[in-house]
């Protein structure tokens, strides 16, 4: 299996630390608002990758943190006039709802910063003892980047480059522009006592402390959105390696950004759509397929048109299973499965994998007869990416409709009667009227079914 390692900027053969086991840490959410589909992109990518890996026989220990202490959370809480932890609790709940409705697996552990203050303090103490941390008078505690020779390796920049970049505000307490806060001294908001006084952890340190607690000082893969590469991941590497003299994560994986109108979708640009917005009109698997149709490292431009196209593809796949039962075992067509595996094992080439799936689906349709074994293969492969988990019946009726189900059934019966009497004018009118309301009727094997269109 090959994985593109951001650290070496090369596609490398993946060598696990322990045979057939993968320890994986993905940087999760900072919870102060509803998640948007840019966030969803990253976590759906990893969800599909992990589902595939497990399907392929890997034992994946998946850790994804929740950052529940942070300036933005504290600020949002102040505005909402509730405590920071109450606010983050609320949005953790919303996040779980959204992730669940997107069909994502829960990680094996989902550690929160507020539960790991001791580990964080211990780590800062270690760094301080080893001479990597400093503070001046009443300043925050900083990491001394000059002391870490490899600083900048991941994000491919030198300390000189960082220093020469334009800055809005310069912190005079820092030795170097790139030095970052390990412990933020503060008495407002939510704080904890520490050897450096009352305060809270800086950003970055939590991921080092928590990943090491659950996966050890060295583990296989560390992932996250591309926008975390610098400074977040760079800083994680610096503090972790300095604290332990170990390598920390072996492989770094970064997902590409989601764009909208040629710009990255982000909170600060206010150009985002929430998961809840999109799921009003589109089945969660449509969004998932939309993402998987592009390689995980490439940017994706969001558009409704794109979602509709993904839906057309998914519709075709669900159509195959409309009336069929599926036996749960592999059978023939080793070629299809082998090809699927080679695509996925080549840095998780989901677009290619889906192409194979589409071809395979077509080959089933070509025969014009039910092939349970092929359908089983297809379903199993789709499931390994988190697709086709719904019943076709639910899938095709997803979204809000203007009618009660019984009403639609009545229209269908009325139309059937009209057709029997060769009153096609009335029959077609009923069908057209429903179509206008987003209900599509299909005559299949003498039976009429309905689908919601979007």
Partner RNA sequence: GGCUGAGUGGCAGAGUGGUCAUGCGGCGGACUGCAAAUCCGUUCACGCCGGUUCAAUUCCGACCUCAGCCUCCA
Please list every residue from 12 through 71 that binds RNA, using CB under 7 A: 27-30, 38-39, 41-42
Total site size for RNA, rule CB under 7 A: 78
Question: Residue 220: which of 211, 229, 230, 209 has the closest Cα?
Answer: 211
401 and 438 Cβ atoms separated by less than 8 Å: yes
Residue 404 makes contact with RNA by CB under 7 A = no
Listed in sequence order, the residues at least 6 apart from 368 whose beta carbon sits closer than 8 Å to its beta carbon are none
Q: Which is nearer to RNA, 34 or 122 (CB)?
A: 34
350 and 310 Cβ atoms separated by less than 8 Å: no
By CB under 7 A, the residues from 415 to 454 that bind RNA are 419, 424, 427-428, 431, 440-444
Residue 76 makes contact with RNA by CB under 7 A = no
Member of 65, 255, 339, 376 binding RNA (CB under 7 A): 255
Member of 13, 19, 137, 168 binding RNA (CB under 7 A): 168
Residue 298 makes contact with RNA by CB under 7 A = yes
Q: Which is nearer to RNA, 129 or 435 (CB)?
A: 435
Strand partners of residue 10: 5
Residue 177 makes contact with RNA by CB under 7 A = yes
Q: Which is nearer to RNA, 175 or 349 (CB)?
A: 349
Q: Which is nearer to RNA, 78 or 125 (CB)?
A: 78
Measure the CA–CA gap between 197 and 140, rounded to whole angstroms.
10
Measure the CA–CA gap between 453 and 438, rounded to whole angstroms.
5
Member of 54, 72, 90, 184 binding RNA (CB under 7 A): 72
Which run of H or E residues covers position 335?
helix 334-344
Which run of H or E residues covers position 453?
none
Q: Which is nearer to RNA, 51 or 64 (CB)?
A: 64
Local structure of 406: helix, strand or coil: helix
Task: Specify the pairing of strand 2-5 against strand 10-13.
Answer: antiparallel
Question: Residue 190: which of 92, 74, 79, 86 has the closest Cα?
Answer: 74
Which run of H or E residues covers position 70?
none
Residue 230 makes contact with RNA by CB under 7 A = yes
> Least distance to RNA from the beta carbon of 296, Å?
8
Residue 228 makes contact with RNA by CB under 7 A = yes
Member of 352, 383, 390, 397 binding RNA (CB under 7 A): 352
Residue 240 makes contact with RNA by CB under 7 A = no
């Amino acid at each position: 299996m090959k994985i593109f390692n951001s650290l070496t900027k090369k596609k490398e053969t993946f060598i696990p630390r322990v045979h057939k086991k993968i320890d994986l840490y993905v940087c999760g959410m900072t919870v102060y608002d509803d998640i948007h589909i840019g966030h969803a992109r990253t976590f759906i990518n990893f969800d599909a990758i992990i589902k595939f890996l497990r399907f392929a026989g890997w034992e994946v220990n998946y850790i994804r943190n929740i950052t529940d202490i942070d300036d933005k959370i504290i600020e949002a809480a102040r505005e909402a006039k509730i405590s920071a932890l109450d606010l983050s609790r609320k949005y953790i709940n919303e996040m779980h709802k959204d992730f669940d409705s997107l069909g994502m697996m829960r990680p094996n552990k989902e550690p929160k910063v507020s539960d790991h203050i001791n580990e964080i303090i211990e780590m800062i103490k270690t760094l301080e003892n080893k001479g990597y941390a400093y503070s001046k008078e009443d300043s925050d505690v900083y990491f001394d980047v000059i002391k870490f020779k490899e600083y900048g390796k991941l994000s491919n920049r030198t300390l000189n480059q960082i220093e020469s970049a334009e800055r809005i505000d310069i912190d005079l307490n820092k030795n170097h522009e790139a030095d970052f806060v390990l412990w933020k001294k503060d008495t407002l908001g939510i704080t904890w006592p520490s050897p450096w006084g009352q305060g809270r952890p800086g950003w970055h340190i939590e991921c080092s402390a928590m990943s090491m607690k659950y996966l050890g000082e060295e583990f296989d893969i560390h992932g996250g959105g591309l926008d975390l590469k610098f400074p977040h991941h760079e800083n994680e590497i610096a503090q972790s390696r300095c604290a332990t003299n170990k390598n920390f994560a072996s492989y770094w994986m970064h997902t590409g950004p989601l764009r909208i109108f040629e710009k990255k979708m982000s909170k600060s640009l206010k150009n985002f759509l929430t998961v809840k917005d999109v799921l009003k009109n589109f089945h969660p698997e449509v969004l998932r397929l939309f993402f998987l149709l592009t390689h995980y490292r490439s940017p994706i431009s969001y558009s409704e048109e794109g979602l509709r196209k993904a839906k057309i593809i998914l519709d075709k796949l669900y159509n195959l299973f409309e009336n069929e039962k599926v036996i749960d075992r592999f059978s023939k067509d080793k070629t299809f499965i082998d090809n699927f595996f080679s695509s996925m094992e080549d840095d998780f080439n989901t677009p290619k994998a889906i192409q194979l799936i589409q071809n395979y689906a077509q080959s089933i349709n070509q025969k014009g007869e039910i092939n349970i074994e092929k359908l089983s293969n297809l379903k199993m492969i789709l499931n390994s990416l988190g697709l086709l988990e719904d019943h076709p019946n639910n899938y095709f009726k997803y979204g809000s409709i203007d009618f009660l189900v019984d009403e639609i059934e009545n229209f269908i019966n009325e139309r059937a009667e009209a057709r029997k009497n060769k009153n096609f004018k009335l029959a077609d009118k009923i069908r057209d009227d429903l179509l206008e309301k987003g209900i599509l009727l299909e005559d299949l094997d003498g039976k009429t079914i309905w689908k919601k269109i979007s």
